[in-house]
Amino acid sequence: MPILSSLDENFRFIILEVAEQVDTTCSFMQSNDDKLFERIVSRDDYIDNLKSVIENIIFSKIHLEHSLDQKAVNNIRAQNTICSNLEKIADFCVNIVRQVGHIKDHSCLDEFECQQFFEEIRKCFPLILPVLQKGDLTKALIICEAELNLDRLYKHNFDLVMAKLRVENEPEDLITLLFIFRYLERIGDSLLNIGEALLYAILGEKIKITQFEALQKTLTKSGLTESLHKLRYETYWGTRSGCNISRIISGDPINELRAQDGIFKGGITKKIRAEKENLERWHKILPSLTPRIISYHEEAGKAAMLMQFMSGLTMEEVALTCDEDVVAGALNRLEITFLDIWTGTLVATPSKSDYTGQLLARLNNVKTVHPLLFKNTMQLSGKAICSTFELIRRAALVENQLAAPFTVFIHGDCNANNIIFNQETRTIHFIDLYRSRQADYLQDISVLLVSFFRMPLLAGPIRERINWIIEHILYSSKTFAADNNDQTFDTRLALGLARSFITSTRFELNSEFAKEMFLRGLYLLEKISLLKEGEIKEFTLPHDVLYY
Amino acid sequence: MAEQKFIFESIQDSETIKSYLESIITGIAKKKIVLSTDGEDITLHPNGLLKLTVKARKKADKNRISIKMAWTDERARLGDHNKTIEINS
């Protein structure tokens, strides 16, 4: 990884200057020499300037040098992050020496382990350039680890200060010392940012050290012995699940061994473990439907899982980009898959419906994004119009009398992006299964129908196709309902659709389309809320609500 | 006088829309239409000469019909007539 010349020069300078600043700060704490104080304060201005110079070089390089390849750009971006954090460290040094000035009795410093902090910090600076030049992962991890060690030192010294504060009557110096330790601990945070920037330069993707450690352990457990350098790591941005999801591609990018590709998922144990257990359950129901678990790892409230990568197109991609015969084939396979799952997992025990409950749970999030969609009570020339909340309350009263006649094992987050169609094998796969459970099949169908409805093409032949897909799914699930004597299909589906129409608006920033979905949801709720006892089974879902 | 506004938007079947329009028609017959939201009322008195505009548009499968009524309150018109015109030279 060659570094660009004048940037290289300045970058080397800032590392040396900040290392020197840390050394001088350490000496000043021991000697309290005024000359050292002045040197630290004046060098800080120089470091600030150096940072600005480097920033200018970096921005002009990224803007003007179009021949830079991705690796060179990644390196420059890492250098920019490192440079900002080095400058922060220099600032912390100035803060520390200013605090030392407030200490009355300097002998109090001897009672604490200040030098250990500095030793931990100092060892990082000589590692930065070699990591950047040679991509040495082990050394990058040493820098990341320094933060952990500094945190431990901070905790230890903090406890010592607290113990002294409890017994001694002179808190002033001890409080000042706490500030000093806090700045030393913050230097650790900056070192961690530097370490993570170096990981970015090596791996080509932004990764937090905790995610990296989890990834490393999961790969080791999976038996993947390849060096992490040789794996390609692509983060999936914009996931809403709160998990970190990345695709791991093994081997040479040109001769990809696709069979070994994996999806790495890391996050809080509860979610990841739920997905693992669901995958195990799915494996018993339909082994080829869901990703195989390659390895799983739990540690300190976090979990990580490496799963098989399911190749193919999502149903959204199929709908928007494929030829009509491929769409028809995918839909046909999807219907057969649903039917297999539903008949294979059907439990004939009624289950209470709770779509309005799910709606209420997310209503505040919707209101945050689209506050103006919510209506208060209105009067239209003598005709009363319910407020949004009142309408939901009334629909909930009707729903209270409703139950799904049976349950099946459901996907749980069945939008078109979480269903994969493999055209070569003509198979359907489910992904993102942490919400799978035994429940009403209309939970999945309502989510799926609205996920097609809200695809961002509002007119033209693709919209006609989306309408056709919706009609297809509606028809096949209605047939299943009739075959299984599900008499409240239309009523439950209307509630499920109303829930999905309204809650989906929180992801929809096109305000006109968000309003369209919201009003469709309200329309369905109004229809349901007007049902009297005995009319629940008679209700017919107005299909038009699903076609745009 | 500050401008008062009332906006109601809804997606409905034609049966429900008919009932909304009937409420307005009843208001026209009584020469009083009250619209309220958030405890604030707008009272309109459709009286005297009213301008009615009906616009319709059809483009492919998208349709639109808009019905607009506009008028000036009688008292305001009288007020205008009662103003004295002064001519200075």
- Work out the pLDDT band at A255, boundaries 50, 70, 90: very low
Instruction: Note whether A381 contacts B35, CB cutoff 8 Å.
Output: yes
| Contact between A380 and B35 using a beta-carbon 8 Å cutoff | yes
- What CATH code would you report for A210-308? 3.30.200.20
Smallest CA–CA separation between A492 and chain B, in Å?
Answer: 19
Q: What span, in angstroms and rounded, lies between the C-alpha atoms of A39 and A506?
A: 55
Token digits for A332?
């046909």
- Tell me which chain A residue has its CA closest to the CA of residue B36: A379
If one compares A42 and A238, the residue with the highest pLDDT of the two is: A42
pLDDT at A252 > cutoff 50 = no
The full set of domain ranges for chain A reads 5-203, 210-308, 313-546
Nearest CA to CA, how far is B70 from chain A (Å)? Answer: 17
At A84, the pLDDT band (50, 70, 90 cuts) reads very high
Question: Which chain A residue shows the shortest CA-CA distance from B10?
Answer: A519
Q: Is the pLDDT of residue B87 over 80?
A: no
The Cβ of residue A226 has, within 10 Å, a number of other Cβ atoms equal to 13
Mutation target vs A (from B10, B17, B43; most A CBs, 10 A cutoff): B10
Closest chain A residue to the Cα of B40, Cα to Cα:
A378
Taking the C-alpha atoms of residue A411 and residue A431, their distance in angstroms, rounded to an integer, is 8
Residue A493 pLDDT grade (very low, low, confident, very high; cuts 50, 70, 90): very high
Separation between Cα atoms, residue A234 and residue A204, nearest integer Å: 8
Nearest chain A CA: its distance from B42 CA (Å): 10
Q: Is the pLDDT of residue A294 over 90?
A: no
Cα A306 to Cα A222: distance, rounded to the nearest angstrom: 8
State the pairing for strand pair A232-235/A403-404.
unpaired
For residues A297-321, give the mean pLDDT: 87
- The span from the CA of A95 to the CA of A97, in Å, is 6
Q: What is the pLDDT of residues B21-56, one digit of tens each?
A: 999 999 999 999 999 987 789 999 999 899 999 999
Question: B41: which 2 tokens?
Answer: 């009322």
pLDDT at res. A253: 44
Mean pLDDT of A174-198: 94
Given a cut of 90, whether residue A99 has pLDDT beyond it is yes
Extract the tokens encoding A294: 């390659």
CATH class of A5-203: mainly alpha
Q: What is the mean pLDDT of chain A?
A: 88
Whether B37 sits inside 8 A of A522 (CB atoms) is no
Nearest residue of A to residue B9, measured between CA atoms: A519
Considering only CB atoms, which chain B residues are within 8 Å of A529?
none
pLDDT tens-digit readout, A431-445: 999 999 999 999 999
Strand (E) or helix (H) holding A543: none
**How is A498-535 classified by DSSP, letter by letter?**
HHHHHHHGGG---HHHHHHHHHHHHHHHHHHHTPPTT-
What phi and psi values does residue A145 have, to the nearest 5 degrees?
A: -65, -30
A378–B37 C-beta distance less than 8 A: yes
Do residues A301 and A269 make contact, with C-beta atoms less than 8 angstroms apart?
yes
| pLDDT reported for residue A221 | 67
Q: What is the distance between the alpha carbons of residues B50 and B33, in angstroms, rounded to a whole number?
A: 14
Q: What is the pLDDT of residue A34?
A: 86
Interface contact B9-A378, CB threshold 8 A: no
Q: Which residue of A has its CA nearest to B44?
A: A381
Closest among A210, A57, A221 to A144, alpha carbons compared:
A210
Judged by CB atoms closer than 8 Å, whether chains meet at A383 and B38 is answered as no
Distance CA A421, CA A430 (A): 9
Interface test with B, best of A380, A387, A502, A527 (most B CBs within 10 A): A380
Q: For chain B, how are helix, strand and coil distributed in percent, rounded to 5?
A: 30, 30, 40
Q: Please tell me whether the overall predicted TM-score, pTM, comes out greater than 0.80 for this model.
A: no
Is the separation of the CB atoms in A296 and A276 below 8 Å? yes
Closest residue on chain A to B30 (Cα): A381
Of A382, A519, A542, the CB nearest to B9: A519
Model pLDDT for residues B52-73, shown as the tens digit of each residue: 999 999 998 889 999 999 999 8
Which chain B residues contact residue A516 at CB under 8 A? 11
Beta-carbon separation of B37 and A515 below 8 A: no
Mean pLDDT of the A241-258 span: 55
Please state, in angstroms and rounded to a whole number, the distance separating the CA atoms of residues A290 and A275.
Answer: 11
Cβ distance of A378 and B35 shorter than 8 Å: yes
CB contact under 8 A, B26 and A381: yes
Query: What confidence score (pLDDT) does residue A257 get?
Result: 39
Which residues from chain A sit within 8 angstroms of residue B20, using beta carbons?
Answer: 380, 383
Write the DSSP string, B33-54: EEEEETTEEEEE---SS-EEEE
What residues of chain B lie within 8 A of the CB of A382, using their CB?
23, 26-27, 34
Q: Considering CB atoms only, which of B9, B11, B35 is closest to A379? A: B35
Which residue of chain B comes nearest to A516, CA vs CA? B11
CATH topology of domain A313-546: Aminoglycoside 3'-phosphotransferase; Chain: A, domain 2 (3.90.1200)
In chain B, what are the domain boundaries? Answer: 14-80
| Segment (H or E) for A340 | helix A324-345
The three state secondary structure string of A228-286 is HHHCEEEECCCCCCCCEEEEEECCCCCCCCHHHCEEEEEEEHHHHHHHHHHHHHHHHHC
In this structure, which amino acid lies at residue A421?
Answer: F
Chain B contact set for A378 (CB, 8 A): 8, 35-37
Burial of A90 (0-12, 13-18, 19+ CB in 10 A): buried
Structure tokens at A513: 């389309």
pLDDT class for A264, splitting at 50, 70, 90? confident
Interface of A with B (CB under 8 A): 375-383, 385, 515-516, 519-520, 522-523, 542, 545
Interchain contact, A382 vs B13, CB within 8 Å: no
> pLDDT tens-digit profile of A327-371?
999 999 999 999 999 999 999 999 999 999 999 999 999 999 999
Which has the higher per-residue pLDDT, A264 or A531?
Answer: A531
Alpha helices in A123-254 (DSSP H): 125-134, 137-167, 171-203, 209-222
Contact A542, B13 (CB under 8 A): yes
ipTM computed for the complex: 0.80
